Amino acid sequence: MIEQIDAIILDSKDYKEKDALLSVLSLKYGILHLVARGIRKINSKNASACLPFTYAKLMVDLKEQRSLHTLQSAVILKSYRKIREDLLKQSIASYFCEMIEKSNFDEDVFSILLEALSCLQDTKNPFSVLCLFQSIMNRMHGIEPFVDGCVRCGGLHNIYALSYRDGGFVCSSCYRQGIDSVQDKERLKKFRILCKAKWEHYEIIKEIPFDYDDFLHVYTYFEEYAGIGMKSIRFLKTICEMEVKAK
Ligand SMILES: [Zn+2]
């Protein structure tokens, strides 16, 4: 059955000589795996629409009860040129795609990824989009840190540090040296905002100067508790560190 589907390309791997295996996130069916024949040929009409994080209209031969389907043709809906021209944005977009593919959520994540790519395309501070995306992913994985008081005593005052081990804020009385990570008030405030934020708060988030360190804090919870190894994180970190040094 040939069907037209709107999808975001998550990944493209070489397959046989001129073919590729694509993972795509479709609006209707969630994640699908497709064989794209001849896509590595120089004159392939479909190649540019099958690049990672392209939003495309695909004609797919969907085979019932099979896990691998066949791509017939692909047309670009959005190429996200401003992401492709910027190494930091590009590495973030690849990270988003890997995150969505590996997380394999039951919930619909199509609109989240589409929104994340649109915000990333237009932003002057890619770290805001990266931080917000990561904290939403943490929440969807059920590993949201506790930020409504001290995670050990429940106290609301003198919040002083982050505990990765206990998963949340720690007050000055409960603080354990060498275990908890001391942070200034501004950093803790930004962390709390991230832990509460959803995409509909992006207009507020984009006005706050989130940086690479803010990302590392939310990412550390993911790394500790999600149980998912992210291949693209190493490259992303290298690019982020270059960006930070250049400033
Ligand atoms: Zn405490």
Report the domain count for the chain: 2
Domain residues for the domain of 222 are: 81-143+193-246
CA of 159 to the centre of ligand 1 (A): 8
Q: What is the pLDDT of residues 131-153, one digit of tens each?
A: 999 999 999 999 999 999 999 99
Residue 227 CB neighbours (<10 A): 9
One domain, residues 15 and 110? no
- Burial readout 32-43 (b: 16 or more C-beta within 10 A, e: otherwise): bebbbbbbbeee
One domain, residues 10 and 118? no
Q: What is the pLDDT of residues 200-219, one digit of tens each?
A: 999 999 999 999 999 999 99
Tell me whether residue 114 is in a domain. yes
Burial class of residue 234 (count of CB atoms within 10 Å of its CB; 0-12, 13-18, 19+): exposed
Tell me how far apart the alpha carbons of residues 55 and 76 are, in angstroms, rounded to a whole number.
6
Tell me how far apart the alpha carbons of residues 55 and 58 are, in angstroms, rounded to a whole number.
10
One domain, residues 60 and 114? no
Q: Report, as an integer, the average pLDDT of 173-179.
A: 95
Tell me whether residue 22 is in a domain. yes
CA of 172 to the centre of ligand 1 (A): 7
pLDDT averaged over every residue in the chain: 95
Tell me how far apart the alpha carbons of residues 195 and 131 are, in angstroms, rounded to a whole number.
10
Question: Positive or negative CA dihedral for 78, 95, 211, 134?
Answer: positive
One domain, residues 10 and 126? no
- Taking a C-beta distance cutoff of 8 angstroms, is the pair 73, 45 a contact? yes
Edge to edge, what strands does the sheet with 181-182 contain? Answer: 168-171, 159-163, 181-182
CA of 154 to the centre of ligand 1 (A): 6
Residue 96 CB neighbours (<10 A): 26
- Taking a C-beta distance cutoff of 8 angstroms, is the pair 153, 171 a contact? yes
Tell me how far apart the alpha carbons of residues 26 and 4 are, in angstroms, rounded to a whole number.
10
One domain, residues 11 and 74? yes
Tell me whether residue 179 is in a domain. no
- The enclosing domain of 41 has a CATH number of 2.40.50.140
One domain, residues 114 and 235? yes
CA of 183 to the centre of ligand 1 (A): 15
Domain finish residue from 35, 51, 78? 78
The pLDDT assigned to 63 comes to 87
Q: Report, as an integer, the average pLDDT of 32-37.
A: 96
- Where do the DSSP E strands lie in 37-81? 55-61, 68-78
CA of 215 to the centre of ligand 1 (A): 24
One domain, residues 71 and 103? no
Q: What is the pLDDT of residues 92-118, one digit of tens each?
A: 999 999 999 999 998 999 999 999 999
Tell me how far apart the alpha carbons of residues 128 and 137 are, in angstroms, rounded to a whole number.
14
Domain finish residue from 78, 98, 131? 78
